[in-house]
Amino acid sequence: MRSDANIAGPMTDPVPGPRTDPTGHDVSRETPPPMDDTPIGRAAQLAVEALGRAGEGLPRPEDTRVMVVANQKGGVGKTTTTVNLAASLALHGGRVLVIDLDPQGNASTALGIDHHAEVPSIYDVLVESKPLSEVVQPVPDVEGLFCAPATIDLAGAEIELVSLVARESRLQRAIQAYEQPLDYILIDCPPSLGLLTVNALVAGAEVLIPIQCEYYALEGLGQLLRNVDLVRGHLNPALHVSTILLTMYDGRTRLASQVAEEVRNHFGDEVLRTSIPRSVRISEAPSYGQTVLTYDPGSSGALSYLEAAREIALRGVGIHYDAQHAHLGAQNDQQNMAEGIQ
Ligand SMILES: Nc1ncnc2c1ncn2[C@@H]1O[C@H](COP(=O)(O)OP(=O)(O)OP(=O)(O)O)[C@@H](O)[C@H]1O
Ligand SMILES: [Mg+2]
């Protein structure tokens, strides 16, 4: 049984939202987008919003930061966090690649990337040694954002990889051979600790763990942390948990704040000060093949992901988040924080 069996808890999702089905077929698109919400209107609103948030622009990392978004618990917000953080970092001016490493292909769907069975995908990279550059696609609507999609083929990769040479480091090699300049690579992992996740952990230096503000939030994390230690010890000495992000935070419940406090006590500085609120807009966006940043740029969900991205970017160059407020003096930060984080 999956460890996310607590879905019937007090914070069940009010809008379950269409998802990719287990065979990888696209989610239902029967609900049309709002008529008056034109792409140009959205883009303009988005630009204003992003500029307001980005202030004088964010520092770019010296070298590409490869962040592995992992938690073997299902449904905690890995994919949502991957795509929305990636879009936020791109809107802040970075060049960002999302690698979809989940056979469900949810990240590809959410980014509006075609990933039917014949599309060149991360499966070809891992199993057939195809260069990453041959599968990467630009994400429509978000400049600087790219995606290496997952197709249903990837479901067989866990088994097929077993007999291949350097089975744990195939993604790492593909990334090293990729010559396009990138500021960030975000890897969306499946909810398991198999060879796909191990490939991600070997390829990246940073692990980003989304934690849902739910009962049992920390359950099973020990196993992930032990795997991180193992991979660090044997295959990737640079690997460390750099970032914990609290997701689906509902400020109205005492449970959420208790969980947040527990996570902060347990992990300390790795936990971002920004947490992501539970937001209907966040859960609606993927069914339109969009991130919340383009779907509803003014929503609290969009603003909180922009803020989390800012925090991650600043930490990456060693600037303390608070110090940034003082140094760059983005006047509306406090106000934005208040809107974005409920
Ligand atoms: N902040 C949020 N507010 C509301 N709904 C959210 C939020 N974050 C995620 N969700 C919804 O919760 C569900 C699970 O999120 P997501 O798919 O990102 O989790 P996951 O960890 O990638 O899941 P899996 O383990 O199956 O890959 C989705 O329906 C998503 O739309
Ligand atoms: Mg996912």
What are the pLDDT digits (tens) for 136-165?
999 998 999 999 999 999 999 999 999 999
Say how far apart CA 325 and CA 334 lie, in whole Å: 9
213 contacts 13 by C-beta, under 8 angstroms: no
The reply to whether ligand 1 has any atom less than 6 angstroms from the CB of 276 is yes
The reply to whether ligand 1 has any atom less than 6 angstroms from the CB of 78 is yes
User: Ligand 1, closest atom to CA 73?
Assistant: 25
How sure is the predictor about 329, in pLDDT bands with cuts at 50, 70 and 90? very low
- Please state, as a whole number, how many other Cβ atoms lie within 10 Å of the Cβ of residue 56: 9
Expressed in angstroms and rounded, the spacing between residue 166 Cα and the centre of ligand 1 is 32
The reply to whether ligand 1 has any atom less than 6 angstroms from the CB of 340 is no
How sure is the predictor about 251, in pLDDT bands with cuts at 50, 70 and 90? confident
Lowest mean pLDDT among 23-27, 144-148, 212-216, 318-322: 23-27
Q: Return mean pLDDT, the chain.
A: 82
Q: Is 117 exposed, middle or buried (0-12, 13-18, 19+ CB in 10 A)?
A: exposed
Expressed in angstroms and rounded, the spacing between residue 190 Cα and the centre of ligand 1 is 12
Nearest CA residue ID for atom 11, ligand 1: 283
Q: Taking residues 273-294, report their average pLDDT.
A: 96
Q: Which residues contact 74 (CB under 8 A, 6 or more apart)?
A: 2, 3, 4, 191
More confident: 236 or 25: 236
Domains and their CATH numbers in the chain:
60-340 (3.40.50.300)
At 185, is the secondary structure helix, strand, or coil?
A: strand
Q: What percent of the chain has pLDDT over 90?
A: 70
Expressed in angstroms and rounded, the spacing between residue 329 Cα and the centre of ligand 2 is 36
Does 244 have pLDDT greater than 90?
Answer: yes
Q: Taking residues 28-47, report their average pLDDT.
A: 47
- Please state, as a whole number, how many other Cβ atoms lie within 10 Å of the Cβ of residue 101: 27
Does 67 have pLDDT greater than 60?
Answer: yes
User: Ligand 1, closest atom to CA 276?
Assistant: 1
Q: What pLDDT, on a 0 to 100 scale, did the predictor assign at position 204?
A: 97
Expressed in angstroms and rounded, the spacing between residue 34 Cα and the centre of ligand 2 is 26
Q: In what order do the strands lie in the sheet with 137-138?
A: 137-138, 145-148, 96-100, 184-188, 65-69, 206-212, 240-247
Q: What residue has token string 């007090």?
A: 10
How sure is the predictor about 46, in pLDDT bands with cuts at 50, 70 and 90? low
Does 77 have pLDDT greater than 80?
Answer: yes
User: Ligand 1, closest atom to CA 76?
Assistant: 21
How sure is the predictor about 49, in pLDDT bands with cuts at 50, 70 and 90? low
Q: What pLDDT, on a 0 to 100 scale, did the predictor assign at position 116?
A: 92
The reply to whether ligand 1 has any atom less than 6 angstroms from the CB of 278 is yes
